[in-house]
A and B are shown apart, each in its own frame.
Chain A
Amino acid sequence: MATPEEQMALHRQLHAKSTGVLLDKLFKGSAFSFAALVLIVLFGMMLMLLKEAWPTFAHFGFGFFISSDWDVVNNKYGALIPIVGTLVTSLIAVVIGVPVSFGIAIFITMMAPAWMKRPVGIAIELLAAVPSIIYGMWGLFYFAPWFANYIQPFMTNTLGELPILGQFFQGPPIGVSIFTAGVVLAIMIIPFIASVMRDMFEIVPTTLKESAFAMGSTTWEVIWKVVLPYTKSGVVGGVILGLGRAMGETMAVAFVVGNSLELNTGLFYPGATIASTMANEFNEASGLHMSSLIALGLILFVITFLVLSIAKWFLMMLERAHEGTGT
């Protein structure tokens, strides 16, 4: 990368030429306007959604956010259940997905023999390339029945007996539920988080790790006390990136979440997320119903925007922290 001085010099040099000055201006101008288009798309999105969602906000006011009524027949809408559903499913996804991704990243960077690193890495990345609708079909026809038959009774009998936490592990044994959606989302975000973590772990300077080994650290101690502290903001950024993805995921969730807009404390009851509600009801909606669905979309957009911004901020912190170290 050239220093600003060098780039300025290049700039002046190029401008000295009289031929092509007009074309140059045209080229730069169009490049600039397309870059501006990226901004326009985002703000256009915000504005259009806000405009279309306005009737709902005007009609229900703040109550829209805290009401658990979603009654199409009586034209009453509240966003509480889809919002909670979105947050809970993506939280389950992160709770399950993060330790697994961490283990995979450790295995690939610290443990696997050289001939194994690439194939395992590529296999995990293949998981990321599979379209989300495939996860949905597999989740509905294979994972959900298996989960309902084998894992859910076990969890209800053990975790469900706990004093206060027990109420969360209740529900009918039908397979489609908030919890199933969370697990399928976890499997979807594992490749993303694992590959971010792997990339992070690989930038840790070898001398740093070897110094720790030379001091007598075990492999785990090197990971926990050297590698992780060195990369922590990147790792946190990667995890939040995965959270953002889980929140906006539509198709996989629409298949396995059960699409029921009733409030339950049990995680094994069918539920709904913002995205699944939109996918289900949008094409039959009109008037206030449509406006409420668009309002849901706006809420999802704002939440993911915030989450992604935080992720980006953490990743920038990592870049800044290691700028001078030559990594």
Chain B
Amino acid sequence: MKAPAPNPHRAVHKMTKYQVRKIINYVNLSASIVVTLFGLAMLAWILTVLFGKGFHYLNWAVFSQMTPPPGESGGLLNAIVGTLALTFLAVLIGTPIGIMAGTYLAEFGMKSKFSSVVRFINDVLLSAPSIVVGVFVYTLVVAPSGHFSGWAGAIALSILVIPVVVRTTEDMLKLVPIPMREAAAALGAPRYKVTISIVYKAALSGMITGVLLATARIMGETAPLLFTALNNQFWSVDMNQPIANMPVVIYQYALSPYEDWQNLAWAGALLITISVLLMNIMARYTLKSPTSR
């Protein structure tokens, strides 16, 4: 295609093909800048609202008092502890399962049919609606036992942890060079030892990243806890009973007509967002730290 130089005399009557192309180019690229600004503006709006409202209502009572009855002031202590307990347990259950399954895919199964099915199903679970996981655990644990419980919540969250850990473990183990395994094998190390003391060691920071990402993902999850851990207005760390947790408290308080509750919901929303963002930043940092590989 020829691109004749723009001729000022001709351009008055009719635009050259080249000019039309340039205009299309400018219009579309400007549109890209506009939509990027739109995305950043939305982020700024959400964060401004969250930080403004959140810090305004954040005080010592939030960390030292229990969730209050309607119309009274109080804190979120039991919900904070509940969320920490649920997250900790879920990661504790989900991580070993995820690491072992990921190890199988990277070290044993590789290109077998079984592995590709597992890989596919794992990717589906990775994006499966979390509310469906909640219903599943409801039918599995809550309905047979007859009551909501912390354990049910932890199991639901652990089902969300597993696919994240499987995925990152497999990806990270695959990055470990084959000769490292061969070198260890040549020295007479049995295979489990090769995996545990050579491959895991080389891939450790990547595997930790996966666990951190999984933690970040479940900390703010609300939907699966609605039908499992439910909520508890009082102090309780009994995993056999319903347990208070930040996301469900935020959900109930934000939609309540009481101003004190709504304010607490904003403080809680800020806390949970900061924790999730911190986890994400830590995950990035771990992956880039000099100890990796």
A residues lining the B interface (CB < 8 Å): 1-2, 4, 6-7, 10, 13-15, 17, 19-21, 23-24, 26-28, 30-32, 34-39, 41-42, 44-45, 48-49, 51-52, 99-100, 102-104, 106-108, 111, 120, 123-124, 126-127, 129-138, 140-142, 187, 190-191, 194, 216, 218-221, 223, 241, 244-245, 247-251, 254-255, 275, 278-279, 282-283, 293-294, 297, 300-301, 304-305, 308-309, 312
- Which residues of chain B from 117 to 135 have any CB-CB distance to chain A below 8 Å in the complex? 117-118, 120-125, 127-133, 135
Chain A residue contacts of B100, Cβ below 8 A: 30-31, 34-35
- Pull 14 A–B residue pairs with CB atoms less than 8 Å apart, ordered by A: A4-B111, A24-B190, A31-B100, A31-B107, A32-B109, A35-B100, A38-B162, A107-B36, A111-B29, A131-B222, A137-B269, A282-B138, A282-B227, A312-B120
- Encoded as 1 (CB less than 8 Å from any A CB) or 0, chain B from 201 to 214 comes to 00000000000000
- Tell me what chain A mostly uses at the interface: helix, strand, loop, or mixed: helix
Contact in complex: B133, A45 (CB < 8 Å): yes
Contact partner, A304, options B121, B129, B140, B219, Cβ 8 Å: B129
Chain A contacts for B222, CB-based, 8 A: 131-133, 250-251
Measured between alpha carbons, how far is A23 from B159 in the docked complex, in Å? 28
The stretch among B37-45, B62-70, B71-79, B232-240 that forms the contact with chain A is: B37-45
How many Å lie between the Cα of A7 and that of B115 in the bound state? 16
In the complex, are the beta carbons of A131 and B272 less than 8 A apart? yes
> Given A131-B276, A133-B251: A104 and B36 within 8 A (CB)?
yes
B121 near A42: Cβ-Cβ < 8 Å = yes
Alpha-carbon separation in the docked complex, A220 to B121 (Å) = 38
Within 8 A of A (CB), among B249-270: 250-251, 254-255, 265-266, 269
Which A residues are in CB contact (< 8 Å) with B114?
35
A250 touches B191 (CB 8 A): no
- Interface positions of B (Cβ within 8 A of A): 1, 3, 21-22, 24-25, 28-29, 31-36, 38-40, 42-43, 45-46, 49-50, 96-98, 100-101, 103-105, 107-111, 114-115, 117-118, 120-125, 127-133, 135-136, 138-140, 143, 159, 162-163, 166, 174, 178, 181-182, 185-186, 188-195, 216, 219-223, 226-227, 230, 247, 250-251, 254-255, 265-266, 269, 272-273, 276-277, 280
Task: Give chain B residues whose Cβ lies under 8 Å from the Cβ of A28.
Answer: 104, 108, 191-192
Q: Contact at A1–B124, with CB atoms within 8 Å?
A: no
B interface: dominant SS:
helix
A278 touching B280, Cβ below 8 Å? no
Q: Do residues B101 and A300 form an inter-chain contact, with CB atoms below 8 A?
A: no
Tell me, in angstroms, the Cα distance from A32 to B192 when the chains sit together.
13
A1 CA / B266 CA spacing, docked (Å): 49
Residues of the B chain whose Cβ atoms lie less than 8 Å from the Cβ of A218: 21-22, 24-25
For B27, give the chain A residue with the smallest CB separation: A220
Interchain Cβ contacts within 8 Å, total number: 273
A173 to chain B, nearest CB (A): 21
Q: Is the CB of A247 within 8 A of B32?
A: no
- B43–A134 CB distance below 8 A: no
- A28 and B194 alpha carbons, distance in the complex (Å): 12
With A23-B192, A133-B247 as contacts: A248 and B29 at CB distance below 8 Å: no
- A7, closest chain B residue (CB): B110
A292: min CB distance to chain B, Å:
12
- Contact call B125/A42, Cβ cutoff below 8 A: yes
Cβ contact within 8 Å between B220 and A131: yes
Q: Is the CB of B131 within 8 A of A39?
A: no
